[in-house]
Structure 1
């Protein structure tokens, strides 16, 4: 049986991860407004001062959660891009990744897609991930243009369209309207998102 000293050492070593997990669970169950360092410490079962070993304030804690979320999202986008057969299919797949991510990781998505609720800006790690995502979409749009699968010209409007569709549908998925819309037409959010993705790909191909 581990001694008190061993348990304490282990606990301290895993403290940051425990605090992040407790914060994420709190966001998922009660919303961003419920987050404070004291409350997160209580949820994690540690002393009120323990979070300050890793996070100087609430914003730093939320930034760390946001960075984790962007890391997961970018990983999903990379995988979707690699699995797609053509650039335009990759763009459609990345839109679907956005919505799937929001449904499977609601706590992360609430911070990432609704930053005004957290009263926090992106930290450098989250910002780097976000820029990587924008670059991945931009490169894919350019590849689609070169392949004749998307209208030629400035890629920025098409990049904005991909982000607007993905992030917009993700917010609708988080807040509930997409569930209602899907149920009313006898389908699922996954099916509806796939249909939107297909329509988007067709619009690009049509020029």
Structure 2
């Protein structure tokens, strides 16, 4: 049985606070108290709040990527693209406050387009870009800028999620997901070769 390190316990408790109350509620003192260590002891593991938040964000990106890659990577290009976007939407519904912090709030070390994305520093957009590249190579999609198309797909999903969460739809989650899938199909068909 693997023993959890103090750093891991700190990250777990910080993540719990982040999910329950949002990023502003995550303080070093509060996390230390939740873990059962002194406020000064937490600094032996993370030099500051930003480093702690960056650590848990990186772990969340890994979890999200695992979730995306757990989907079968077979079927049509369209079904694989839709599956990737479904994973993104599921993450937004399952982990709303973490989603907000990771994808919707300014963060000092957040990856930025174009440099970070084109340098493949985005663990969550890389698989989308790879799928877009394969689709262009096979002739399924028109040749275009791979990263711009991947970003367009992501922005499309993100926009729908933000509008839904902002109360702009009077739809159940199931109805909303069906709407987004129809919209994605239209978008993908517009990009087809």
TM-score by length of 2: 0.80
The structure with the largest helix share of the pair is: 1
Highest CA radius of gyration, 1 or 2?
Answer: 1
Which runs of no fewer than 5 residues in structure 1 stay unpaired?
1-9
Summarize the Cα distance change of 1:54–1:163 in structure 2 as closer, same or farther, 3 Å threshold: same
- The answer for the alignment partner of 2:21 in structure 1 is 30
What does residue 71 of structure 1 align with? 62
Question: Normalization by structure 1: what TM-score?
Answer: 0.75
Residue in 1 aligned with 2:109? 121
Query: What's the offset of the Cα at 1:26?
Result: 1.3
In the other structure, the counterpart of 1:91 is: 81
Distance 2:144 2:110 in 1: 31
The answer to whether 1:193 aligns with 2:193 is no
Instruction: Say which of 50, 53, 61 aligns to 1:62.
Output: 53
Q: What is the aligned-residue RMSD (CA, Å)? A: 2.7
Cα distance between partner residues in 2 of 1:205 and 1:44: 51
Aligned twin of 2:149: 158
1:4 aligns to what?
A: none
Query: Greater relative contact order: 1 or 2 (C-alpha under 8 angstroms, separation 6 or more)?
Result: 1
Shift of 1:98: 0.8
Distance across 2 between alignment mates of 1:103 and 1:87: 24
**How far off is 1:122 after superposition?**
4.3
Structure 1 position 84, deviation (Å): 4.1
CA contact (8 A) 1:149 1:204 kept: no
Is 1:105 paired with 2:95?
yes
SS at the partner of 1:48?
A: coil
